[in-house]
């Protein structure tokens, strides 16, 4: 029974990682931009939600709904006026700029909010759970997992059912030809980052309700998100979910053997997948 | 003890007479202020330890004795390398007479090591003495190679005190004596879980069984393995030294999984009220070690203020709840004033170091004397122990938590505010 519980907890944890990773996957898939500030943007969104909760007295879910359009705007401006200037044949400038952005964000948050641990007030929901047989499944982890699936279904619909999604895919495959067809890659990229920021807001909501956050916690979240994207394969959103679940389950199984192996097991699983499938499990794009 | 008079004799008065007698000895610094260097983590993950620094520094500057000192403050940014760098700057560029350093081995150790190498007197605090003393030895694994320091002195408590406090708190409750351990794979976790100097041998002696699933990495997102292990061994007491985000993750998940121990005595993670508030209502009756509180029956040798006055002043000045480092940072400056009041030349490092070793100060954190009381012989020369008691966080009406002292078996002069209660 403990093994069933271990796997279930791992799958639910995978939902959180997938949520961290979905925004990264979107941006990475469309414009090959590795956003090293992704974790810090999640933390920034968490602080934005926290401010709305404490200043306006909104419940966290409503506060996240208010924060989402703000983050959408921030993402659009960030991509349009900063990150677009770094894109080109050289992969180094976007890495350096987002790395710098990560440090700047951390220090700005530290200056503004101090190093105190914060958490979004959750009330009873954070500790409540559903009893299924001998298993206790936390309501909050379950919601996190459900949200991750909803986000991925939503993004897939956007990708394959709308003209914006067609523009995303076209720009991803061949920006030059796409722009010959009247698509402005810069504009498409800005929209993609803005949408990624919506997902970031959702990830921030669950991060903030699940445990403490402080200005320095972002980079530690980035690595799992990044691994989930790579395991899943470039441009595949379902792959990102699978990647998150693989890391989550490996971590809980590793921990069940010995807690020393918890984090290591996730990294080992990542390396094993790369060894067998160097391009990830479900790569969409060919590059 | 009479610091003001001695100070006047040694510094201002001497300087004044020299100055009055003309151009006799222009190079002698005795008319000048005594220069103190102070290093603490004012930014970064450890910044909560230093939130009262400005309040304490202002209080010191405005005190009668403080007027004889110039304090040069440096931020370690919670980074050991940076701490060593700024210590070097203070010694070389600012030519300080004495170094003061506070808060966690990550800050105290690099600064102390630098001072010892440069032969600058240094007083340090707010780190258990084992990581401070043993952590600076060339070979921490070989006790026969450990050497004393000649310029570095430290006052705080040690691992043996926290073990005593935690077990005394648990003994107040009716439990099955099954303890679950949450030790991370870091300096603290390895020390607490050490089979020789840590919790395991003491717990075994006192009839407790310990369930220690193993060292986990900091910033772990899932504790189901530990929770399952604790459930299997019928654990009723949880202890450990996790970082705050990890404890929140653990505690929340434990509640989700229906695991509620009778006692949870946690070091580090629930030191500060903000961290307990992050747990919502579920932090009620969590227990932790208490090094200083407003109800400690001690007074400042600098200002005469009681512990309650000092904590109250901080709350009035900042609007924030008192925290434990306040008393110890204040005591650092008490020590500096007391030591400098007993030397004739503040620039004579050997004399200052000797004066530190001879300290007998009744400070706001209790008596500080390097007499080796309660210490093994190797640390006796450099460490002074201050009292440690145990406390529980209690939910306050209208939100927030208060830390109530529930065990004083190792320091009966510190009053308790209640008895240990079970977590429900």
Round to whole Å and give the CA distance between A30 and B150.
62
**Nearest residue in B to A132, CA atom:** B257
Q: Which residue of B47, B225, B275 is the best one to mutate when testing the A interface, meaning the one whose CB has the most A CBs within 10 A?
A: B225
| Nearest CA distance, A127 vs chain B (angstrom) | 5
**Would you call B280 and A115 a contact, using CB atoms and an 8 Å cutoff?**
no
Given a cut of 70, is residue A193 above it in pLDDT?
A: yes
Q: Do B213 and A258 touch (CB under 8 A)?
A: yes
pLDDT bracket for residue A256 (50, 70, 90): very high
Domains of chain B with CATH codes: 3-157+294-385 (3.40.50.2300), 160-290+388-407 (3.40.50.2300)
Scan residues 104-143 of A and list those with Cβ closer than 8 Å to B: 110, 114-119, 121-123, 126-129, 136-141
Question: What's the per-residue H, E or C state across B287-302?
Answer: EEEECCCCCCCCECCC
Q: Which two tokens stand for residue A31?
A: 């414009």
Q: Which of A6, A16, A136 sits opposite B258 (nearest CB)?
A: A136
DSSP characters over B366-389: EEEE-S-TTS-GGGTTTEEE---E
pTM of the model: 0.87
B178 three-class SS: strand
**Least CB-CB distance to B45: which of A216, A224, A251?**
A216
Q: Do B47 and A114 touch (CB under 8 A)?
A: yes
pLDDT band at A253 (very low <50, low <70, confident <90, very high): very high
- In a domain, residue A282? The reply is no
The CATH number of whichever domain residue A198 belongs to comes to 1.10.3470
Instruction: Please state the domain count of chain A.
Output: 1
> Domain range holding A258?
2-276
- Which H or E run contains B402? strand B401-407
Mean per-residue pLDDT of chain A: 91
Cβ pair A5:B228 closer than 8 A? yes
> Residue A138: which of B51, B185, B256 has the nearest Cβ?
B256
In angstroms, the Cα distances linking B287 to A89, B240, B401 are 57, 11, 12
Dist. CA B194–CA B186, nearest whole Å: 12
pLDDT at A178 over 50: yes
pLDDT of residue B359: 94
Please say if the pLDDT value at position A188 is more than 50. Answer: yes
Give the closest-approach CA distance of B164 to chain A in angstroms. 27
Quick check: A43 contacting B, CB < 8 Å?
Answer: no
Q: Sort out which chain A residues have CB atoms less than 8 A from B279's CB and list them.
A: 119
Token look-up 């790569």 returns A283
B101: which DSSP letter? E
- CB-nearest partner of B252 from A118, A211, A260: A211
In a domain, A286, yes or no: no
Q: B274 and A116: CB-CB below 8 Å?
A: yes
A6 and B45: CB-CB below 8 Å?
no
Place of tokens 């075994």: B204
Distance from CA of B225 to the nearest CA of A (A): 5
Instruction: Specify whether the CB–CB gap between B400 and B277 falls below 8 A.
Output: yes
pLDDT in tens, A110-120: 889 877 778 89
Task: Give contacts of A122 with chain B, Cβ < 8 Å.
Answer: 280
Structure ipTM: 0.91
Nearest 5 degrees, angle CA A100-CA A103-CA A109? 135
Taking residue A93's Cβ as centre, other Cβ atoms within 10 Å add up to: 13
Contact residues on chain A for B255, CB-CB shorter than 8 A? 126-127
Nearest to B214 among A115, A137, A258 (CB): A258
Q: How many Å apart are CA B248 and CA B38, to the nearest integer?
A: 33
- pLDDT attached to residue B14: 44
Q: Give the Cα-Cα-Cα angle A281, A161, A83 (nearest 5 degrees).
A: 70
Backbone angles phi, psi at B407, to 5 degrees: -140, 125
In DSSP notation, A177-244 reads HHHHTT--HHHHHHHHHHHHHHHHHHHHHHHHHHS-B-TT-HHHHHHHHHHHHHHH-TT-HHHHHHHH
d(CA B260, CA A129): 14
| Nearest one of B27, B7, B113, B29 to B338, comparing CA atoms | B7
Percent with pLDDT over 70 in chain A? 99
Both tokens assigned to A64: 């996240």
Q: Is residue A263 part of a domain?
A: yes
CA distances from A236 to A165, A166, A197, B377 (A): 13, 15, 18, 64
Per-residue confidence (pLDDT) for residue A286, from 0 to 100: 54
Residue A98 dihedral angles phi and psi, to the nearest 5°: -70, -30
Residue of A108, A115, A134, A252 for testing the chain B interface, max B β-carbons within 10 Å: A115
**Torsion of the alpha carbons at B132, B135, B139 and B143, rounded to the nearest 10:** 50
Strands (E), B76-121: 98-102
Q: Return residues 328-347 of B near A (CB < 8 Å).
A: none
The answer to whether the Cβ–Cβ distance between A6 and B225 falls below 8 Å is yes
Q: How confident is the model at residue A133 (pLDDT cuts 50, 70, 90)?
A: confident
Residues of chain B with pLDDT under 50: 8, 11-29
**Which of B223, B224, B244 has the CB atom closest to A5's CB atom?**
B224
A285 occurs within a structural domain? no
Of B222, B224, B280, the CB nearest to A126: B280
pLDDT digits 0-9 by tens, A58-108: 999 999 999 999 999 999 999 999 999 998 888 899 999 999 999 999 989
Q: What dihedral do alpha carbons B180, B186, B191, B193 form, nearest 10°?
A: 20
Give contacts of A 198-227 with B, CB under 8 A: 210-214, 216-217, 220, 224
Write out residues 43-82 of B within 8 Å (CB-CB) of A.
43-48, 51
Top residue of A106, A114, A127, A221 to mutate, by most chain B CBs within 10 Å, is A127
What is the reported pLDDT for B5? 52
Task: Note whether B275 contacts A: Cβ–Cβ < 8 A.
Answer: yes
Q: Which of residues 167-186 of A touch B (CB under 8 A)?
A: none
Domain presence at residue A171: yes
Residue A281 included in any domain: no
Question: Using CB atoms and an 8 Å cut-off, which of residues 54-83 of chain A contact chain B?
Answer: none
CB-based contact A10 B222, cutoff 8 Å: yes
Which one of A255, A257, A263 makes the best mutation probe of the B interface by having the most chain B beta carbons within 10 Å?
A255
Shortest alpha-carbon distance between residue A169 and chain B (Å): 34
Does the beta carbon of A21 lie under 8 angstroms from any beta carbon of chain B? no
Q: Check A115 against B47: CB less than 8 A apart.
A: yes
3-state secondary structure chain A: CHHHHHHHHHHHHHHHHHHHHHHHHHHHHHHCCCCCCHHHHHHHHHHHHHHHHHHHCCCHHHHHHHHHHHHHHHHHHHHHHCHHHHCCCCCHHHHHHHHHHHHHHHHHHHHHHCCCCECCCCHHHHCCEEEECCEEEEHHHHHHHHHHHHHHHHHHHHHHHCHHHHHHHHHHHCHHHHHHCCCCHHHHHHHHHHHHHHHHHHHHHHHHHHCCECCCCHHHHHHHHHHHHHHHCCCCHHHHHHHHHHHHHHHHHHHHHCHHHHHHHHHHHHHHHHHHCCCCCCCCCCC
Residue bearing tokens 């009873």: A124
Q: Which of A129, A216, A256 lies closest to B256 in CB terms? A: A129
What is the pLDDT, as a whole number, of residue B3? 56
């Amino acid at each position: 029974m403990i093994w069933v519980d271990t796997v279930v907890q791992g799958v639910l944890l995978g939902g959180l990682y997938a949520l961290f990773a979905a925004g990264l996957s979107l941006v990475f898939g469309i414009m090959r931009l590795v956003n090293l500030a992704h974790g810090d943007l999640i933390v920034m969104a968490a602080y934005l939600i926290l401010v709305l909760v404490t200043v306006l007295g909104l419940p966290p879910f409503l506060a996240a709904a208010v924060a989402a359009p703000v983050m959408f705007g921030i993402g659009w401006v960030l991509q349009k006026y900063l990150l677009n200037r770094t894109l080109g044949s050289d992969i180094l400038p976007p890495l350096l700029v987002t790395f710098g952005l990560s440090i700047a964000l951390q220090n700005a948050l530290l200056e503004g909010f101090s190093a105190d641990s914060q958490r979004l007030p959750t009330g009873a929901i954070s500790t409540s759970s559903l009893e299924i047989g001998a298993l206790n499944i936390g309501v909050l982890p379950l919601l996190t997992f459900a949200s991750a699936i909803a986000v991925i279904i939503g993004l897939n619909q956007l990708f394959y059912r709308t003209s914006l999604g067609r523009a995303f895919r076209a720009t991803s495959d061949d920006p030059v030809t796409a722009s010959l067809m009247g698509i402005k890659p810069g504009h498409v990229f800005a929209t993609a980052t803005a949408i990624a920021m919506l997902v970031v807001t959702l990830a921030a909501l669950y991060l903030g309700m699940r445990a403490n956050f402080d200005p320095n916690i972002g980079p530690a979240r980035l690595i799992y998100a990044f691994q989930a994207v790579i395991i899943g394969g470039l441009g595949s959103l379902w792959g990102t979910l699978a990647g998150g679940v693989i890391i989550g389950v490996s971590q809980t199984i590793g921990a069940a053997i010995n807690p020393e192996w918890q984090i290591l097991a996730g990294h080992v699983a990542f390396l094993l997948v790369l060894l067998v499938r160097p391009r990830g499990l479900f790569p969409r794009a060919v590059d | 003890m009479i610091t003001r008079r001695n100070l006047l004799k040694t510094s201002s008065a001497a300087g004044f007479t020299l100055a009055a007698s003309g151009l006799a000895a222009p190079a002698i610094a005795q008319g000048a202020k005594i220069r103190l260097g102070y290093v603490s983590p004012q930014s970064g993950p450890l910044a909560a330890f230093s939130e009262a620094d400005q309040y304490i520094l202002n209080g010191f500057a405005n005190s009668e004795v403080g007027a004889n000192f110039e304090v040069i403050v440096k931020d370690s940014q919670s980074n050991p390398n940076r701490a060593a760098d700024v210590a070097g700057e203070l010694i070389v560029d600012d030519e300080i007479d004495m170094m003061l350093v506070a808060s966690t081995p990550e800050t105290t150790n690099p600064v102390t090591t630098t001072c010892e190498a440069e032969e600058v007197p240094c007083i340090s605090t707010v780190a258990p003495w084992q990581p401070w003393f043993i952590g600076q030895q060339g070979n921490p694994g070989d006790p026969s190679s450990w050497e004393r320091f000649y310029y570095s002195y430290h006052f705080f408590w040690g691992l043996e005190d926290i073990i005593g406090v935690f077990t005394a708190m648990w003994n107040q409750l009716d439990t099955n004596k099954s303890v679950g351990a949450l030790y991370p794979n870091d300096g603290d976790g390895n020390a607490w879980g050490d089979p020789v100097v840590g919790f395991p041998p003491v717990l075994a002696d006192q009839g407790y069984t310990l369930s220690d699933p193993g060292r986990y990495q900091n910033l772990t997102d899932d504790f189901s393995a530990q929770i399952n292990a604790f459930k299997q061994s019928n654990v009723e007491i949880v202890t450990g030294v996790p970082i705050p985000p990890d404890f929140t993750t653990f505690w929340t998940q434990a509640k989700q999984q229906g695991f509620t121990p009778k006692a949870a005595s946690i070091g580090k993670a629930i030191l500060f009220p903000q961290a307990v508030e992050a747990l919502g209502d579920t932090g009620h009756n969590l227990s932790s070690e208490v090094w200083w509180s407003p109800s400690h029956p001690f007074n400042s040798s600098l200002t005469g203020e009681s512990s309650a006055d000092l904590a109250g002043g901080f709350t009035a000045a900042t609007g924030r709840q008192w925290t434990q480092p306040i008393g110890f940072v204040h005591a650092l400056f008490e020590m500096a004033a007391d030591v400098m009041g007993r030397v004739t030349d503040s620039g004579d490092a050997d004399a200052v170091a000797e004066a530190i070793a001879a300290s007998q100060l009744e400070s706001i954190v209790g008596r500080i004397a390097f007499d080796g009381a309660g210490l093994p012989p190797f640390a006796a020369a450099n460490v002074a122990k201050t009292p440690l008691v145990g406390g529980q966080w209690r939910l306050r009406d209208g939100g927030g938590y208060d830390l109530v002292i529930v065990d004083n078996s190792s320091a009966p002069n510190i009053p308790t505010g209640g008895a240990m209660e079970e977590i429900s």
